[in-house]
Amino acid sequence: MKKLALASVLGLAGLSSFAVQASGAQGVGVAVNYGLISGPALEVSYPISDVLQVRGALSAGMGLSESTSDTDINYDVEADGGIHRLSMDYHPFAGSFFLSAGYAFNDFKLKANGRGTGSVDVGDETYDNADLNLKGQIEWDSAPMLSLGFGHSPEAGWGAMIEVGAIFTGSPDASLDGTGTYDNGTVDVSTDPSFQQALRDEEAKLQNDVGDFDFLPILQAGVTYRF
């Protein structure tokens, strides 16, 4: 995933370099926006013609961080990583309205760190006198994307933009890991077959719960400027 993110950075840098070499700064568009999942983002665009332009975007991620509880386990949940995109925009009326197709280099994931003490349920098993640390992660793949919106007009000057669409990632991958002990510290869960099987059962439940979230939405707005 980091290699894909690096590829997106290089692609955006190459796009900017191409635009500058083609005609100085004239025609290059820049945008600063905020997305539902992508968070703050910087975009660079260049019009190939009155109706076509190429566009690249780098995002910082949504910055989610909160605490939640699942019965006997308290979790700290945070979002990590951004979504970087390279796309082709089609402006059918040579104006602000556009249709876009491209590829999203996805480094976005959700991470959870949990702690459970006393009597703790994992999978279909209950572990008494436990002191457990659980780590979970949900991660989406890089994937093609489609969107539409208003903005990034080929005309020079200031403007605004809004974009909606989807990144067709398929079902995310869920994983769980656990450390600690139960039975008053006499059993180490990292070497206990019973606990490891219960952890895999819990992981399978999580995978099933998130299986329907097979795309990531695009919803962002911002300001633009074209030289």
Tens-place pLDDT, residues 68-113:
766 667 888 899 999 999 999 999 998 899 999 999 999 999 999 9
| Helix, strand or coil, per DSSP, at residue 209 | helix
Per-residue buried b or exposed e for 15-35, using 16+ beta carbons within 10 Å of the residue's own CB: bbeebeeeeeeebbbbbebeb
- Cross-strand bridge partners of residue 33: 41, 222
Summary mean pLDDT of the chain: 87
Burial 102-119 (b: 16+ CB within 10 A, else e): bbbbbbbbbbbebebeee
For residue 178, which of 187, 167, 168 has the smallest C-alpha distance? 187
At position 226, the amino acid (one-letter code) is R
Task: Please give the tally of structural domains in the chain.
Answer: 1
Residue 24 clears pLDDT 60, i.e. is over it: no
Per-residue model confidence (pLDDT) at position 71: 61
CA proximity to 33, closest of 202, 216, 163, 176: 163
Task: Compute the distance between CA of residue 125 and CA of residue 128 in angstroms, rounded to an integer.
Answer: 10
pTM here is 0.81
In this prediction, residues 199-217 reach a mean pLDDT of: 90
Interatomic CA distance for residues 91 and 108, integer angstroms: 29
Alpha-carbon dihedral 16, 6, 66, 128, rounded to 10 degrees: 170
- Domain carrying residue 197: 2-226
22: CATH: 2.40.160.170
